[in-house]
């Protein structure tokens, strides 16, 4: 049991809360679009894909960054540098989760299976980006943004504008809060020649870019609400989502990085869960 807990901490399993609710939105949109009854079998496969893809990404990130993590006081307590899990075990865990992800997509449909290597390329590629581009945050956002469009494809086997708009919102939402999270390592990243928006632009300008990204995320949801002809449940959820974005920036402005977990984990977790609940309620009563 202790070993399982160690791996859960390694991949920060609780952070699955960010993209999973948007995957549920995409899945239910696909069910409505295809006029099919709810498929528990396909729903389970989508959930497993989310878990395996994210576990792959996080484990590989920890494996690739193990030497940097060991030098950083904030991250030296992580499982590999602390000696809790061996590096080769994490690499094996990464490969196993990659294969499980591919297997699940095979049983969903051909399109998802053919696109699966591209998805893996994105989520694995993110771990390299901090070594050569300050726009690494957008690659992380892109990886999580695959959740709504991917789950929609799992049901329908085709692309559509509405789930794509939700994906665009996730892209800028995640990129925005990752910039805020990266403020913690600004000095370390400069010293070790790593790239990020805070390193490139400095703290004040980085926060402004984060605000811009969150504005774009909100704008994408406004367009989604109009395109999808959503009702008032959607707009209540939207207001909560935007309120949580404003709240996290107010926390950073007021307290700096002392309450980063409140700004990062709590605010974004609430934003994702509450918004998805209201969107799903709107879809249920509307259709």
**Both tokens assigned to 118:** 């591209």
Q: How far apart are alpha carbons 59 and 268 in whole angstroms?
A: 22
Q: What is the pLDDT of residues 7-64, one digit of tens each?
A: 888 888 767 778 899 999 999 999 998 887 788 999 999 999 999 999 999 999 999 9
For 205-220, letters b (16+ CB in 10 Å) and e give: ebbebbbebbebbbeb
Element (H, E) at 238: helix 232-255
State phi, psi for 77 to the nearest 5 degrees. -85, -5
Per-residue confidence band for 224, with pLDDT thresholds at 50, 70 and 90: very high
pLDDT in tens, 146-194: 999 999 999 999 999 999 999 999 999 999 999 999 999 999 999 999 9
Q: What is the distance, to the nearest Å, from the Cα of residue 94 to the centroid of all Cα atoms in its chain?
A: 18
Domain that holds residue 221: 2-286
Q: Cα separation of 183 and 197, whole Å?
A: 9
Q: How far is CA 54 from the centre of its chain?
A: 8
Inter-residue contact 28 to 283 (CB < 8 Å)? yes
pLDDT value at position 287? 60
Mean pLDDT of 189-210: 96
What would the mean pLDDT of 118-123 be, rounded to a whole number? 97
Nearest CA among 242, 62, 264 for reference residue 178: 264
Structure tokens at 1: 């049991």
pTM greater than 0.75: yes
CATH code at position 247: 1.10.357.140
- State residue 158's pLDDT score: 93
**Residue 46, SS3 per DSSP:** helix
Give the C-alpha distances (Å, rounded to integers) separating 80 from 127, 193, 213, 273: 16, 22, 33, 31
| Structural domain total, the chain | 1
Whole-number mean pLDDT of the chain?
93
Per 3-state DSSP, the chain is made up of helix, strand and coil in percentages (nearest 5) of: 80, 0, 20
């Amino acid at each position: 049991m202790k070993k399982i807990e160690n791996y859960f901490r390694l991949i920060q399993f609780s952070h699955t809360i960010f993209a999973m609710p948007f995957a549920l939105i995409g899945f239910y949109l696909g069910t409505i679009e295809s006029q099919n009854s709810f498929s528990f079998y396909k729903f389970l496969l989508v959930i497993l894909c989310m878990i395996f893809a994210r576990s792959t990404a996080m484990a590989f990130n920890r494996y690739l960054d193990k030497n940097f993590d060991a030098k950083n006081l904030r991250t030296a307590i992580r499982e590999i540098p602390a000696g809790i899990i061996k590096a080769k075990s994490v690499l094996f865990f990464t490969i196993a989760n990659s294969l499980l992800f591919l297997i699940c997509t095979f049983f969903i449909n051909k399109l998802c299976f053919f696109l699966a290597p591209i998805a893996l390329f994105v989520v694995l590629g993110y771990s390299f980006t901090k070594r050569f581009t300050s726009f690494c945050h957008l690659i992380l956002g892109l990886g999580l943004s695959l959740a709504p469009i991917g789950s929609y494809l799992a049901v329908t086997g085709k692309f559509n504008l509405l789930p794509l708009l939700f994906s665009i919102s996730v892209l800028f939402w995640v990129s925005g809060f990752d910039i805020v999270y990266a403020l913690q390592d600004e000095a370390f990243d400069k010293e070790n020649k790593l790239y990020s928006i805070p390193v490139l632009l400095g703290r004040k300008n980085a926060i402004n870019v984060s605000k811009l990204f969150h504005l774009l995320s909100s704008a994408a949801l406004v367009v989604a609400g109009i395109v999808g002809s959503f009702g008032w449940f959607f707009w209540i959820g939207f207001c909560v989502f935007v309120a949580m974005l404003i709240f996290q920036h107010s926390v950073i402005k007021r307290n700096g990085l002392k309450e980063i977990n409140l700004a990062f984990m709590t605010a974004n977790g609430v934003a994702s869960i509450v918004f998805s609940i209201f969107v799903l309620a709107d879809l249920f009563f509307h259709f």
